[in-house]
């Protein structure tokens, strides 16, 4: 009776397992799961309070939210894209509580099939596709036999690499030629400071073959508040199907949350972006301490993907000898063996201390 695919999952979700190990030690700087530390801008909190107040009165009380999101929220998302020159229609924006859940819900729109995933890869994509019964293939370049679905994350989790315009253009051309659908995770787009695309829709033809998932978790400090959005362009032919699936499998996102998100993406946008910069600066501080070591990320990303040797052995070394809780690369699949991931969602003091310890660690290697 139980879904037999559950047997194919690892015993625990990566970040739960690593979180428990880190918690069992004392005085460790936790740079494992990417959980934000800065408080929310006060305008965002005020927007939430005001929305909650409205629920106190008969005239302004609200029940179920619209399944795909309130118009005011969709307009805020659209304006966030417009300021970068990307045009999206209101009917293409769907509110969500984050990428992990919306991407796995979205798999219901597509027939079971072959999914191409990056290697290493964010473990939630692997688990969601296993549960759905999809066949997994891990990429290093373009496979000759095209998959049904291609998952791309840029800037990537865990490697911190942002795809260049040329690389992404090649993926869009490959998907269109082979009739594949790209599921594009843009969770870390706000960290991009160079010419890399912040949305796949900056690439010509992407509207025909790509669905974009984004979240306010890392952009606006919403890991606890929970709000994101999915863009399903009309040209990809799945907009109506997704509306149907969304309406039966989700109750949407609360009014209070959407008001807070609206504020974070409009009125409080400059504070939102200065919080992103704070974490980006943390990443730069730690990356500088690692100069001479082999790593990717540290710029255009809150992650540093450090080459270090046996990933669990180095994880324990960093934990027990240097008081740093990182994530073993192997947790992101076979392609992650030999690496650890360090995240920069910490306080400035912790970033500075972690940088000193990382410098020491890498000098001893
Ligand atoms: C991460 O650290 O990769 C993410 O914060 C985990 C998540 O979003 O579930």
| CB-defined site of ligand 1, < 6 Å | 15, 33-34, 100, 122, 124, 157, 343
Q: How far is the CA of 145 from the centre of ligand 1 (A)?
A: 31
pLDDT recorded at residue 91: 98
Atom number, ligand 1, closest to the C-alpha of residue 215:
8
Flag whether the pTM goes above 0.95.
yes
Atom number, ligand 1, closest to the C-alpha of residue 187:
8
Distance CA 363, CA 365 (A): 6
pLDDT recorded at residue 11: 86
Edge-to-edge strand order for the sheet containing 135-139? 93-96, 228-231, 210-215, 181-185, 149-153, 114-118, 135-139
Atom number, ligand 1, closest to the C-alpha of residue 158:
3
Q: Which residues in 195-231 are b (16+ Cβ under 10 Å) and which e?
A: ebbbbbbbbeebbebbbbbbbbbbbbbbbebbbbbbb
Atom number, ligand 1, closest to the C-alpha of residue 218:
5
Q: If we measure between CA atoms, which residue out of 199, 228, 232 comes closest to residue 214?
A: 228
Q: How far is the CA of 214 from the centre of ligand 1 (A)?
A: 13
Q: Indicate which residue's Cα is closest to atom 5 of ligand 1.
A: 34
Q: Which residues in 138-169 are b (16+ Cβ under 10 Å) and which e?
A: bbeeeeeeebbbbbbbbbbbbbbbbbeeeebb
pLDDT recorded at residue 320: 98
Q: How far is the CA of 178 from the centre of ligand 1 (A)?
A: 31
Atom number, ligand 1, closest to the C-alpha of residue 124:
9
Which 8-state DSSP code applies to residue 69?
Answer: -
* Substitution site in 12, 13, 15, 224 for ligand 1 pocket (most atoms within 8 Å of beta carbon): 15
* Substitution site in 101, 103, 122, 332 for ligand 1 pocket (most atoms within 8 Å of beta carbon): 122
Cα 234 to the chain's mean position, in Å?
23
Atom number, ligand 1, closest to the C-alpha of residue 35:
5
pLDDT recorded at residue 144: 85
Q: How far is the CA of 223 from the centre of ligand 1 (A)?
A: 9
Query: How do 93-96 and 228-231 pair as beta strands?
Result: antiparallel
Q: How far is the CA of 287 from the centre of ligand 1 (A)?
A: 20
Q: How far is the CA of 298 from the centre of ligand 1 (A)?
A: 16
Q: How far is the CA of 33 from the centre of ligand 1 (A)?
A: 5
Q: How far is the CA of 134 from the centre of ligand 1 (A)?
A: 22
Atom number, ligand 1, closest to the C-alpha of residue 122:
3
Per-residue pLDDT of the chain (365 residues; tens, 9 = 90+): 899 999 999 889 999 999 999 999 999 999 999 999 999 999 999 999 999 999 999 999 999 999 999 999 999 999 999 999 999 999 999 999 999 999 999 999 999 999 999 999 999 999 999 999 999 999 878 988 899 999 999 999 999 999 999 999 999 999 999 999 999 999 999 999 999 999 999 999 999 999 999 999 999 999 999 999 999 999 999 999 999 999 999 999 999 999 999 999 999 999 999 999 999 999 999 999 999 999 999 999 999 999 999 999 999 999 999 999 999 999 999 999 999 999 999 999 999 999 999 999 999 87
Q: How far is the CA of 122 from the centre of ligand 1 (A)?
A: 8
């Amino acid at each position: 009776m139980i879904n037999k695919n559950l047997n194919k999952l690892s015993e625990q979700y990566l970040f739960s397992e690593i979180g428990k190990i880190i918690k069992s030690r004392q005085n460790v700087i936790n740079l494992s799961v990417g959980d934000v530390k800065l408080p929310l801008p006060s305008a965002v909190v005020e927007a939430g309070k005001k929305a909650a107040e409205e629920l106190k009165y008969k005239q302004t009380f609200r029940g179920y939210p619209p399944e795909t999101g309130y118009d005011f929220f969709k307009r805020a998302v659209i304006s966030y894209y417009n300021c970068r020159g990307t045009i999206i229609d209101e009917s293409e924006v769907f509110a969500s509580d984050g990428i992990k859940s919306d991407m796995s819900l979205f798999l219901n729109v597509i027939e079971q099939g072959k999914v191409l995933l990056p290697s290493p890869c964010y473990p939630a994509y692997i688990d969601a596709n296993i549960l759905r019964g999809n066949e997994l293939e891990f990429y290093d370049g373009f496979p000759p036999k095209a998959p049904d679905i291609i998952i791309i994350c840029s800037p990537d989790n865990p490697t911190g690499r942002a795809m260049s315009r040329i690389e992404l253009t090649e993926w869009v051309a490959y998907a269109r030629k082979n009739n594949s659908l790209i599921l594009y995770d843009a969770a870390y787009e706000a960290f991009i400071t160079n010419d890399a695309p912040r949305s796949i829709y900056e690439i010509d033809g992407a509207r025909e073959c790509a669905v974009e998932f984004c979240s306010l978790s890392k952009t606006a400090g919403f890991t606890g508040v929970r709000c994101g959005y999915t863009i399903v362009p009309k040209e990809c032919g799945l907009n109506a199907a997704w509306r149907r699936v969304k309406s039966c499998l989700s109750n949407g996102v609360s009014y209070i949350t959407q008001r807070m998100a609206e504020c974070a993406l409009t009125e409080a946008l400059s504070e939102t972006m200065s919080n992103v910069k704070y974490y980006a600066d943390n990443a730069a501080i730690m990356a500088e301490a690692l100069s001479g070591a082999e790593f990717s990320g540290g710029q255009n990303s809150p992650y540093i993907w450090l080459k270090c040797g046996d990933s669990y052995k180095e994880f324990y070394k960093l934990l027990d000898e240097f008081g740093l809780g990182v994530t073993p690369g192997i947790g992101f699949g076979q392609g992650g063996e030999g690496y650890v991931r360090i995240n920069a969602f910490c306080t400035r003091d912790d970033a500075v201390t972690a940088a000193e310890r990382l410098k020491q660690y890498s000098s001893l290697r």
